[in-house]
Structure 1
Amino acid sequence: MKSKNQSIALRKSTELQHARHDEKIAYHEKRRQVFRELLKEYPANSRKAYESDINAYERFCDDNGLIPYHLEVASMANVVRHYIDDILPPPDKSDVVNSRYKRSTLQRRFTSLKMALDAMEIPNPFDDPLIAGMVRQRMKKLSKKGADQAPDIGRAFIEKARQLPYSDLVELRDVCLFNLGLDTLCRVSELASLRFQDVDWERRVILVRESKTNKHGEEDLRALSKTTVSLLQKLREQYPVPHYIFQPINKSGRVTSRYVYQDYQGSGFKVKLQRQAHVNSVTSSLKRTADRLGLNGNFSGHSLRVSMAVLMRRLGIPDHKIKKAGNWKSTAMIDLYTRSLGVEESGVRDVFDLID
């Protein structure tokens, strides 16, 4: 039998575990509330990125038996140090290393955590010069190689996509989405949010409600080709509830959209709304069409945006019109996407034409 002291120790240990669990639940709920309020003005894709960063931090804490949030400065700093050790290279590494995360991802993760701690009014260890210096020094050890540029699929494949046949609802949806991405130069997250009711069929334009560069709900209209409008009309006829343009379809060809119930304008009444598909599903759809076109893996979700920018500049379309097409704030990204054209347009090409 257990001694009295053992029983008391076990009870205290259990009570401590329950207290820690309750504390963790309370902080998680507080974090959700304050973070949701903090991010409500951000575009959908930014909100998802910040939420994903905080979820990754909390998951790390859960996996390692750590409480993610503390009011006590030393305890909070200790957890953050463990987290830094997990995602940044160790301090004894003298050479430049490749992290399992991109530099920009790491910077955003730390920014997200700082935002969450400040919003929750929890001591922020990143204000400590020692911790800030530790992060700065370890970040210097990371390779500065940026992410690879999304490949340009080329004019031939763009034209081929316009003529691509389809034999079922999945292929119709995928071909429609691919051409819609080419027309609008939308990012994958933006494609997922497009809705039929935002299409002006007469003017052949679609309203992009949320985008990376449109944080204030400004009107952002994108032009549609006759081919894409025709595909959209056919797709709309096939959907039982034509709300989102991209809707999940199961193997038997049935639309399997999910629904959520939300409060209607603060009235207390719940309305049934179709849930937006995950961006991974949209990316998979685009890649299926890319495979059918014969791109053989030379494709990413951003390729449609890059390819149309390259094609427009190759055709001599003025930069201000290209900016409008992709809702860019400057020509910097256009220059980045079309940098490969610099060699093709260099004067030495004219010499080759004369001497070869």
Structure 2
Amino acid sequence: MDQIDHHSLKILEELLSRCKGAYSDVTLRGYRNDLVVFKSWCAERGASWLPADPETIARFVDDEAPTKAIATVKRRICAIQFAHRILDLPSPISHSEVHLALRRASRAKRRRPRQALGLTADMLSKIVAKCPDTLAGARDAALFSAGYDTLCRSSELVAMRVEHLSPDLSSIEVPRSKSDPFGNGRIAYLSPATIGRLEHWLDRSGLHHGPLFRGLHTGKVPQGAMDTSSVRRLIKVAAKRAGIQKEEISALSGHSMRVGAAQDMLVAGIDFLGIMQAGGWRSQGVLARYVEHASTAQMHHRRWQQLAQRRASTV
């Protein structure tokens, strides 16, 4: 690595160091990774990465688009915009060259983002019923149930603490989320079934404070919280144990409980505003992608039902 690269990396690290506490560590790691990609791309072409001109960014988008998902390309553009903003440099992102490059990339990538399979109440009941009568089984049943009731992301689930539970376990505070970077928090309510599973987990684990959900090693409860990636793995293992189809298991993710609960709420007749409040969504567009399959199925079932009723009335 030459001296220029060392200097560039020093600028990048200083930039990110200034932002500690103002952004989450996950966000800063993501910005760092994307900016390293952009910096390396610019170095190979003898172009300035900071500040970058619109033409350079447009060419970067054109080069990235054939092999990267459009979401990845847009995320990297956000990282470039972030770096310019933090250094009080004029943003090149709003220039028409960048706008047109992103339009080209979006039109070339017509495939819709893959949506995680919703872990609905029916699937949840099958999975929980097959959780073994062990310490791990008690944790998993409580984890899946709490994830469904609270509509939490996996990162929010592993951040839950025993102290966040109300005394009667009927609710839990979600202090921070991806859409709530300043920690205003929200209260999520728990069903009687989930309360029972949480009681069982707390009794089996002996937990009174600290992380609510933890990884288990040799049958012992460690001090630290469970890793986010473990949520996805545990869901898939539990689904396989419950006899869920292989294709469905592959589509499950750490977001599946959140997706499934939102879909069930829509089918139950709860309006968008209520679902947004329950799950902490700020964008109707994002929520619409979560529930679109349930919404479409519900629409068709209503249509078929009405047509059947109409035919029956004319007989």
**Alignment pair present for 1:88 and 2:44:** no
Deviation of 1:22 after TM superposition, in Å, equals: 4.4
1:150-189 mapped onto 2 (5 Å cutoff): 150-189=116-155
Task: From 253, 261, 272, give the equivalent of 1:308.
Answer: 261
**Alignment pair present for 1:28 and 2:16:** no
Task: From 33, 55, 62, give the equivalent of 2:33.
Answer: 55
The RMSD of aligned alpha carbons is 3.8
1:290 is matched by which residue type in structure 2? A
Residues 255 and 68 (structure 1), Cα distance of their counterparts in 2 relative to 1, 3 Å cut: farther
| Number of residue pairs matched by the alignment | 303
CA deviations 1:73-108 (Å, max 9, x no partner) are 57x88985775454223xxxxxxxxx431x233212
Q: 1:247–1:277: 8 Å Cα contact kept in structure 2?
A: yes
1 CA distance for matches of 2:206 and 2:118? 32
Residues 87 and 329 (structure 1), Cα distance of their counterparts in 2 relative to 1, 3 Å cut: closer
> 5+ residue gaps in structure 2?
none
Residues 78 and 157 (structure 1), Cα distance of their counterparts in 2 relative to 1, 3 Å cut: closer
Deviation of 1:25 after TM superposition, in Å, equals: 4.3
CA deviations 1:91-135 (Å, max 9, x no partner) are xxxxxxxx431x2332122012111133134676546655x2663
**Alignment pair present for 1:349 and 2:305:** yes
CA deviations 1:261-317 (Å, max 9, x no partner) are xxxxxxxxxxxxx5x544222221222222223333412332222222232333344
Deviation of 1:32 after TM superposition, in Å, equals: 1.6
1 CA distance for matches of 2:49 and 2:282? 42
Deviation of 1:209 after TM superposition, in Å, equals: 0.6
1:281-292 mapped onto 2 (5 Å cutoff): 281-292=230-241
**Alignment pair present for 1:231 and 2:197:** yes
1:243 is matched by which residue type in structure 2? G
Residues 323 and 63 (structure 1), Cα distance of their counterparts in 2 relative to 1, 3 Å cut: closer
TM (norm. structure 2) is: 0.77
Secondary structure at the aligned position of 1:179 is classed as helix
Deviation of 1:56 after TM superposition, in Å, equals: 3.2
Residues 202 and 115 (structure 1), Cα distance of their counterparts in 2 relative to 1, 3 Å cut: same
1:330-345 mapped onto 2 (5 Å cutoff): 336=289, 337=291, 338-339=294-295, 340-345=297-302
1:99-248 mapped onto 2 (5 Å cutoff): 99-101=67-69, 103-121=70-88, 126=93, 130=97, 132=98, 135-136=101-102, 138-202=104-168, 204-237=170-203, 238=205, 242-248=209-215
Q: 2:62–2:105: 8 Å Cα contact kept in structure 1?
A: no
**Larger deviation, residues 56-65 vs 322-331:** 56-65
2 CA distance for matches of 1:332 and 1:84? 25
Residues 71 and 150 (structure 1), Cα distance of their counterparts in 2 relative to 1, 3 Å cut: closer
Please identify the structure whose Cα radius of gyration is greater. Answer: 1
1 CA distance for matches of 2:258 and 2:267? 14
1:192 is matched by which residue type in structure 2? V
Secondary structure at the aligned position of 1:345 is classed as helix
Residues 85 and 204 (structure 1), Cα distance of their counterparts in 2 relative to 1, 3 Å cut: same
Residues 87 and 292 (structure 1), Cα distance of their counterparts in 2 relative to 1, 3 Å cut: same
1:183 is matched by which residue type in structure 2? D
> 5+ residue gaps in structure 1?
1-15, 90-98, 258-273
2:308 is matched by which residue type in structure 1? F
Secondary structure at the aligned position of 2:172 is classed as strand
Q: 2:121–2:264: 8 Å Cα contact kept in structure 1?
A: yes
2 CA distance for matches of 1:146 and 1:343? 22
2 CA distance for matches of 1:234 and 1:295? 25
2 CA distance for matches of 1:203 and 1:180? 11
| Matched residue, 1:279 | 228
Counting aligned pairs with the same residue, the percent is 21
